[in-house]
Amino acid sequence: MSEINNNNPKSTSKYDVDGKPPLKEAIPLGLQHVLAMFAGNIAVPLIIGGALGLSVGEKTFLIQSAMLMAGIATFIQANRVGPVGANLPIVMGTSFGFVPTSIAIGKQFGLSGILGAAFVGGFFEAILGYFLKPLRKFFPPIVTGTVLLTIGLSLLPTGIKYFAGGVGAPDFGSLQNLGIGSLVLATIIFFNQYFKGILKMAAILIGITVGYVVSILMGKVDFTPVANASWFSIPTPLEYGMTFNGSAIIAMLILYIVTTVETVGDISGITMGGAGREATDKELSGGIIADGLMSSLAAIFNAFPNTSFSQNVGIVSLTGIMSRYVVTIGSVFLVLAALVPKLGAILAVMPQSVLGGAAVVMFAMITTSGIVLITKDELNQRNLLIVAVALGLGLGLGSVPEALQQLPKSVNLIFSGSGLVVSCIIALVLNIILPKEKKAAVKKSEVIAKAEAANI
């Protein structure tokens, strides 16, 4: 990508990248970024921990780790260290894109298997960052959009299970659980549509808070683990260790490719929305390298892979605050929160139906984001075929994993589970091998179609 295009729109940012708003402005602006990403960041360890049957204490620890690494990764992105970091107001957090495959790996190899694969994959993404420019042509919107759509659709059943109370819950599907989930969902919709500013951006967090309070009043929350949790502790590195399995690593590597493309889009969104210019090659490369290395560091500290959070890109565009200083303050809040286990315990004992109400919205938004991305490419027969085959086989095999049970276990792990890896591979391969339609031929077919329609 070119360095800076002088024909781009002028910056509309109130504070530029190196601007420093006064603390009375910077602190609430930093908190605003934290509020926008907080629910999404803690949802991932809660969902994976729940799927793997982890205890409240273990989920509390994973939440601590997720907040700590989100803070550190955000700080590095906003304050470049050598080639690492974009030097932009990028907020990092635990990625939803890895959830389906992480659950599949975790059920076979445990947390250590997830963390080992994530550790290796992070270095792979960092290498992609160094060679980003020549690789970008392989990831047009039709490919990345299809993968994003598959991620959202794969996660929706998990969201509904939480909505009903969580698999294995004695009151699964009860009116109480469905009512709480519906209340959270309705609250999110209400604040998102009828409010502006911070209340609109924090709609998910507000919805979860309302659902949590109602659950407490209904007597559905046991605070014993909160009382037993300490006030201060530093997450211990390698608490669960790491194991390295070839099939798990391959599955993770494919997802890191997808994450790379997502981060490119987020960085471009920040520079265009906040500064009215394209992202430089240095910013893109540094951002991807930080994405990868911070994910490897996250694995050491028992956290799942990190990536840039798109909702915070929207905040930069909306507020016109491009300052790295603001995001740096937000990163400090995240690190401080990570050092207080009681906060993690409060979140860990939250009823699953509360999280489910928010998860349905978050997962559905991932799905619609994929649809929007797909439509950025021309929807001709070639591209529609790519989407159809990738979705058909990806979601199909994800729904019927026993169809691959005759394959070796290592191969089975790569291609079963969520079906996301299948969808990604098929979209990538078909985009490379299928001949592209010539624009002239497309225009001719459009003219013929219009003429035929006129004669009807």
225-238 confidence digits (pLDDT tens): 888 878 888 888 99
Nearest to 59 by CA among 72, 73, 49, 48: 49
More confident site: 419 or 288: 288
How far is the C-alpha of 258 from the C-alpha of 124, rounded, in Å?
12
Q: Say if 309 falls within a structural domain.
A: yes
Q: How many domains does the chain have?
A: 1
Residues 148, 141: contact at Cβ < 8 Å? no
Residue 271's SS3 state is helix
Q: In this structure, is residue 426 part of a structural domain?
A: no
Spatial neighbors of 341 by CB under 8 A, at least 6 apart, are 60, 61, 64, 229, 230, 231, 232, 233
Confidence label for 5 from pLDDT (cuts 50, 70 and 90): very low
Looking at the domain assignment, is residue 174 inside a domain? Answer: yes
Helix, strand, coil tally for the chain in percent (to 5) = 70, 0, 25
pLDDT at 446: 58
Which residue type, as a one-letter code, is found at position 287?
G
- The residue ranking higher by pLDDT, 194 or 277, is 194
- What's residue 384's pLDDT? 93
The model's confidence at residue 448, banded by pLDDT at 50, 70 and 90, is low
Calculate mean pLDDT across residues 118-139: 89
Of 354, 367, 357, 355, nearest to 43 by C-alpha is: 355
Judged by average pLDDT, the poorest of 60-69, 129-138, 331-340 is 129-138
What does pTM read for this prediction?
0.72
Percentage of residues in the chain having pLDDT higher than 90: 30
Average pLDDT of 401-424? Answer: 74
Q: What average pLDDT does range 298-318 have in this prediction? A: 82
Q: Considering the domain boundaries, does residue 167 fall inside one?
A: yes
As a whole number, mean pLDDT of residues 180-202 equals 84
**Residue 108 within any structural domain of the chain:** yes
CA-derived radius of gyration, the chain: 22
| Most trustworthy range by pLDDT among 32-36, 138-142, 247-251 | 247-251
The residue segments making up the domain with residue 304 are: 23-368
Determine the Cα–Cα distance for residues 356 and 339; give it in Å rounded to an integer: 26
Report d(CA 193, CA 204) in Å as an integer. 12
By DSSP bridging, strand 306-308 and strand 92-94 are: antiparallel
The mean pLDDT of 32-48, rounded to a whole number, is: 80
Evaluate whether residue 91 is within a structural domain.
yes
Residue 245's beta-bridge partner residues?
none
Domain for residue 417, yes or no? no
- In whole angstroms, give the CA distance from residue 190 to residue 363: 18
265 pLDDT band, cuts 50/70/90, is confident
Of 189-193, 371-375, 437-441, least confident by mean pLDDT is 437-441
Cα 357 versus chain centre, distance? 18
CB count in 10 Å sphere of residue 13: 20
The whole-number pLDDT of residue 6 equals: 41
Say what the pLDDT of residue 24 is: 79
Say if residues 201 and 35 touch (Cβ distance below 8 Å). Answer: yes
Residue 335 lies in a domain: yes
